[in-house]
Structure 1
Amino acid sequence: MLAIAAAIVFGLGLLLDLLDASLGAGVSATTFLLLGLLLLALHQAGVGTAGWRGGNWRRRR
């Protein structure tokens, strides 16, 4: 789920960069890039997965 959120954030950042737009003080395409990288890092660390074993919680014996 975090990877999907990261893809959406990267898409918004790309649109802001292509349109040379800014959403106010301190919010730019670079902000969206860094937020997307944070979401990808959390996804790779296993945050938000079902159970501690990466989704294999149903196979407990």
Structure 2
Amino acid sequence: MLGIAAAVLFFIAFLINAADIATSDVLSSTNFMLIGLAALALHVAGIGGTRPAGRWGRRR
């Protein structure tokens, strides 16, 4: 789920940068990119994904 959120944030950052939209310092394309990188790092670390099928997984 965080991987999808990161992709959306990267797309928003791209649109802001490509369209050369003047935004405030809080909503700059760099900030969207950094938030996207943080979400991607959490996704790669395994946070925010599906539960592992270990002890708490489905029974067969």
* Shorter-normalised TM range: 0.7 to 0.9
Partner of 1:3 in structure 2? 3
Query: Post-superposition shift, 1:30?
Result: 0.6
Q: Which moved more, 1:39-48 or 1:18-27?
A: 18-27
Q: Root-mean-square deviation (CA), in Å?
A: 1.8
Considering Cα pairs closer than 8 Å and 6+ residues apart, tell me whether 1 or 2 has the greater RCO.
2
Query: Post-superposition shift, 1:49?
Result: 2.5
TM-score, normalization by structure 1: 0.77
Q: Which moved more, 1:19-28 or 1:2-11?
A: 19-28
Aligned length: 57
Identity %: 43
TM-score, normalization by structure 2: 0.78
Query: Post-superposition shift, 1:33?
Result: 0.7
- CA–CA distance in structure 2, aligned partners of residues 36 and 20 of structure 1: 19
Ranges of 4+ aligned residues in structure 1 off by more than 4 Å? none
